[in-house]
Amino acid sequence: MQRRTFLLSTAALAVTPAISRAAGPQPLFNGKDLSGWHIVDGPDSAFYVEDGAICASPSSGWPAWLASDRRFENFDLSLEFFVGGWSDGGVYFSAPPFGPPTACGFKVNIFQQVDAEPKSNSMGAIFPVVAPSKVNVKNKGEWNTMRIRFDWPTLQVWTNGEKIQDLDVRQNPELAHRLRQGSIGLEGLGYPLKYRNLRIEELPPTDKWIVLFNEASDIEKNWLITDNRKSNPVRFVGYGPVLWCDGAGNLGTKEMFDDFELHLYIRGPRQHNSGVIFRSNGDKAASIEGKYEIQVHNVPEAHYPTGSLYHYKRSRYPQIEDEKWYLFQMGAKGANCWVRVNGETVMEYSDLKNLKPGRIELQAHQPGKWVEFREIWVKRI
């Protein structure tokens, strides 16, 4: 196991992550087995291959879904799907490794009903946010075609050769901060949906992040201890792709950030207490005008639960579970900041006073209550 305990270092600046990209359309499914795919939140029997198609079984009920091993950013995806009788499911993209794929990424809905007046839950909807321009599903035991082209911020969808979605995701507040890269996914919801002839062409990437932590060696490259309580010394340890912490103290970025977006996954035990601090001026006080803390505290009735801007604004408690990874996103621009947890905006605030650049810090606050982080990425805005 790759393990690295924090040590001070003057190593090089963090780098930007890249997703390898193949040239031209490539098969996403080999027509024989589920190589290159994995089942999420469901049994091994949830999806299987028969007659050259990926089939959803009765055990594919929510929340089970089938995810591509590879992640994709901008792409042009084509596929066929079979609808015979009552069917409900969908195609995910920009789906996260942890957290709800519909809320964190995107879902093109599959439903057998031909709605005369399309709704946000109709066939072809960007579920459950944007209705399609029309519904043209063939629902009497027939194969349908679907094409999804996502070249951020433009999202276009065609079914059976007709364009049914054409939007700029930045213009919709429900979509603007969703992930721009992730897995392609298939959903069955326990119905006998089938998928075949999946092909994808990767388009040039445009999403540029600075990696603060992806692996243990990133600790020395990008971080330093900014607060360490002698009574309960802080420990930040890299276990492969996971950054584990305990004790009392803070781990701060070497770089300073003023306006930024931050992306990471967090996991902790019951009633853990931690935080993500930003625009920190190095003062060790927990909550002062010189810096701000987004609370990480999984107690629904706490004064400031997870997602709160500590001392300033309480969050709406997010849908998270003890000891399960969840997606944490936040942004700060000028006097404004926002927090999203598992794809839900839980806090917005527009009266930050300190606009100066500062460190981003991870807090270990409650000795004996470990907290873990992974895929910590930041970009300046």
| 220 and 295 share one domain | yes
C-alpha 134/C-alpha 3 separation (Å) is 53
CATH at residue 51: 2.60.120.560
Q: Residue 287: pLDDT above 50?
A: no
Q: How many CB atoms lie within 10 A of CB 109?
A: 22
Q: Which domain holds residue 258?
A: 3-15+209-380
The answer to whether residue 313 sits within a structural domain is: yes
C-alpha 163/C-alpha 124 separation (Å) is 10
Phi and psi for 237 in degrees, rounded to 5? -125, 135
Domain end call among 181, 202, 223: 202
| 189 and 241 share one domain | no
Confidence of residue 23 (pLDDT cuts 50, 70, 90): confident
**pTM for this one?**
0.92
Higher-confidence position of 5 and 165: 165
**Closest Cα partner for 6 from 217, 210, 212?**
217
The answer to whether residue 231 sits within a structural domain is: yes
The answer to whether residue 148 sits within a structural domain is: yes
| 139 and 273 share one domain | no
The answer to whether residue 141 sits within a structural domain is: yes
C-alpha 106/C-alpha 180 separation (Å) is 9
| 172 and 224 share one domain | no
C-alpha 226/C-alpha 362 separation (Å) is 10
% residues pLDDT > 90 (the chain): 88
Domain end call among 168, 183, 202: 202
The one-letter amino acid code at 334 reads G
Dig out the tokens for 92 from the structure. 């995910």
The answer to whether residue 20 sits within a structural domain is: no
Confidence of residue 73 (pLDDT cuts 50, 70, 90): very high
| 352 and 241 share one domain | yes
Lowest mean pLDDT among 18-22, 169-173, 325-329: 18-22
C-alpha 123/C-alpha 117 separation (Å) is 11
| 125 and 214 share one domain | no
pLDDT tens column, 180-191: 999 999 999 999
Once rounded to an integer, what is the mean pLDDT over residues 14-36? Answer: 80
Confidence of residue 2 (pLDDT cuts 50, 70, 90): very low
CA dihedral sign, ordered 223, 229, 235, 241: negative
C-alpha 179/C-alpha 92 separation (Å) is 12
Domain end call among 153, 179, 202: 202
Angle, alpha carbons 271-273-274 (nearest 5°): 145
C-alpha 251/C-alpha 98 separation (Å) is 24
The answer to whether residue 173 sits within a structural domain is: yes
Confidence of residue 283 (pLDDT cuts 50, 70, 90): low
C-alpha radius of gyration, the chain, whole number: 22
Q: What is the pLDDT of residue 19?
A: 60
C-alpha 65/C-alpha 188 separation (Å) is 7
Q: What is the pLDDT of residue 11?
A: 35
**DSSP run (H or E) holding 103:** helix 101-104
Dig out the tokens for 56 from the structure. 């959803």
Once rounded to an integer, what is the mean pLDDT over residues 198-217? Answer: 97
Query: In the chain, which ranges are continuous DSSP H helix?
Result: 101-104, 218-222
Dig out the tokens for 21 from the structure. 């990209």
| 104 and 188 share one domain | yes
Number of H helices, E strands in the chain: 2, 27
| 174 and 227 share one domain | no
Tokens 């990480």, located at residue: 296
Residues 322-359: b if buried by 16+ CB within 10 A, e if exposed: eeebbbbbbbbeeeebbbbbbbbbbbebeebebeebbb
Once rounded to an integer, what is the mean pLDDT over residues 150-160? Answer: 98
The answer to whether residue 132 sits within a structural domain is: yes
C-alpha 182/C-alpha 175 separation (Å) is 15
- What is the DSSP-derived secondary structure letter of residue 13? P
Phi and psi for 218 in degrees, rounded to 5? -70, -20
Q: What is the pLDDT of residue 36?
A: 98
| 138 and 82 share one domain | yes
* Number of domains the chain contains: 2
Q: What is the pLDDT of residue 288?
A: 54
Dig out the tokens for 93 from the structure. 């993209």
Once rounded to an integer, what is the mean pLDDT over residues 69-95? Answer: 97
| 39 and 124 share one domain | yes
| 173 and 315 share one domain | no
Q: What is the pLDDT of residue 286?
A: 45
The answer to whether residue 343 sits within a structural domain is: yes
Lowest mean pLDDT among 9-23, 53-67, 309-323: 9-23
The one-letter amino acid code at 192 reads P
Tokens 């806090």, located at residue: 347
Q: Residue 148: pLDDT above 90?
A: yes
| 248 and 338 share one domain | yes
